[in-house]
Structure 1
Amino acid sequence: MRINELADHQKPRERMLSHGAARLSHAELLAILINTGRKGCSSLDIANELLKSVGSLKELKGLSVNDLNKIKGVGIYKALILKAAFELGERMHSGSVDDKIQITSPKDVADFMMGKMEHLTQEKFIALFLNSKNVIIKKKTIFIGTLNSSIVHPREIFSEAIKCASNAIIVLHNHPSGDTTPSKEDIKTTARLRECGALLGIDLLDHLIIGDHEYLSMVEAGYFD
């Protein structure tokens, strides 16, 4: 059935106008972006097929433009629109260092980085460098892969901190499994970085583990006591 054959209360655009974007399903939001259907299928049908083919929004977001282009009824133009929408959403969620974000709690860190990290399929270890007012002045990916305390070198992190005149750092990494429980290596790495920071006078303020729609602050969890 074509979108224009649906009753107004069933059409994604009309529903969004009446009820707001938050009330729409994933498929309805995708249908608005896809805009037009193909022969015999509406944009809503294509959206539902798209979601069924990947299983989750996390997997959908991970598809490349070429992957999306291969899906019948999407094509290169719609694939570009979808990827642009995913990227904008991620940027809005994560912000940027240019926004002069001040960190006052672990939640501030999570709000800044969750959108960038919660959907990653490989572990990424990132350091945030803060000035004397706890404003983020730089972020840097330190390592990609399974976390190991012997691989994450404090010298790389703290040399960067000295270079950008950072007063403190916060590190974080993701667990692709979604489980935020710290591993022995997570705890060992944190302790090592704290010791090095104390010697240099550059405090490690926290180590956050990003999971699936959740995070764990090692400060709040008591690992800094």
Structure 2
Amino acid sequence: MNYRLKDLPEELLPRERLYKLGPEALSNREMLAILLRTGVKGENVLDLAERLLADSGGLAGLARLSVHELSQLHGLGQAKAAGLKAALELGKRLASADPASRPVVNSPQDIAHLVMEEMRHLDREHFRVVTLNTKNHVLGISPISVGSLNSSLVHPRECFKEAIRRNSNAIILVHNHPSGDPTPSREDIEVTKRLADGGKILGIEVLDHVVIGDNRYISLKERGIL
């Protein structure tokens, strides 16, 4: 059912939730909906925001697109694309201006908190690498592949490229299970061990592999696999 925003209770509307609870309480979908302001025919702004995140591979995927590429996405014209690109660029500048404000990862729960709300709704497996500095500050979250997890899609060269570029001390692997069940598969375990071996050669430690389900996660480090 394609509900209209005006049919929702006021306390569930993104802008009202932001005023009442603050931006920290909102999902990426809700924040994006506030920036977009309006939906398109047959799709309210929350649905539009969810589709754009899913089709682009999340916020990181949207941030990689040029303003021209954004304007070509269904539901975005030049005005919305320009506003969205400006907001994403401001976020990047803020993060680079104050390294101390970057999230710190001390546990699998910290990683889950960073990506859960976005990745739990994806309809395909997305594999990402979280790069960390020596103090475990997050330097970035890089998309590696989309599709079923296997060794051909997840190549060590791609996984460690951003870590080397950012002079990262360690990385954490993250991917989602669209089924909602984060139980690691045989392929998950094989890929994890392969990448951990590659990290040893490069001197970049693979600290963990966190599998995201529907509001659940499993750490392969906690399972004793790493």
Give the TM-score normalised by structure 1: 0.61
Alpha-carbon shift at residue 107 of structure 1 (Å): 0.4
How many residue pairs get aligned? The number is 158
Q: Which runs of 5+ in 2 are unaligned?
A: 14-28, 31-37, 53-57, 60-90, 96-100
Are residues 1:65 and 2:67 paired? no
**Residue in 2 that maps onto 1:5:** none
CA displacement 1:99-152 (0-9 Å, x = unmatched): 400101000000011011001011100101000101001111000111112220
Deviations 1:168-223 (A, max 9, x none): 00010000001111111100000001000011110000001000110001011121
SS state at 1:65 partner: coil
Amino acid in the other structure paired with 1:203: E
Q: Distance in 1 between matches of 2:12 and 2:221?
A: 44
**Residue type of the partner of 1:65?**
G
1:111 equivalent in alignment to 2:113? yes
Greater displacement, 151-160 / 123-132: 151-160
Change (3 A) 1:65 1:158: same
Q: Offset of 1:30 from its aligned partner? A: 2.5
CA contact (8 A) 2:39 2:46 kept: no
Give yes or no for contact 1:101–1:136 (8 Å, CA) kept in 2.
Answer: yes
CA contact (8 A) 1:149 1:186 kept: no
> If the length of structure 2 is used for normalisation, what is the TM-score?
0.61
Task: Confirm or deny: 8 A CA contact 2:124 2:147 kept in the other structure.
Answer: yes
Counterpart mapping for 1:135-154 below 5 A: 135-154=137-156
Instruction: For 2:150 and 2:185, locate their aligned partners in 1 and report how far apart those are by CA, in whole Å.
Output: 10
Distance in 1 between residues matched to 2:152 and 2:46, nearest whole Å: 42
Inter-CA distance 153–34: structure 2 relative to 1 (3 Å threshold): closer
For structure 1, which runs of at least 5 residues remain unmatched after alignment?
1-26, 36-59, 72-78
Moved over 6 A (4+): 84-87
User: In the alignment, is the contact (CA less than 8 A) between 2:129 and 2:173 conserved in 1?
Assistant: yes
Q: Deviations over 1:37-69 (max 9, x none)?
A: xxxxxxxxxxxxxxxxxxxxxxx99xx933xx4
Question: RMSD of aligned C-alpha atoms?
Answer: 3.4
Structure-1 separation of matches of 2:48 and 2:189: 36
Give runs of aligned pairs for residues 63-142 of structure 1, distance below 5 A: 65-66=39-40, 69-70=41-42, 79-80=44-45, 98=95, 99-142=101-144
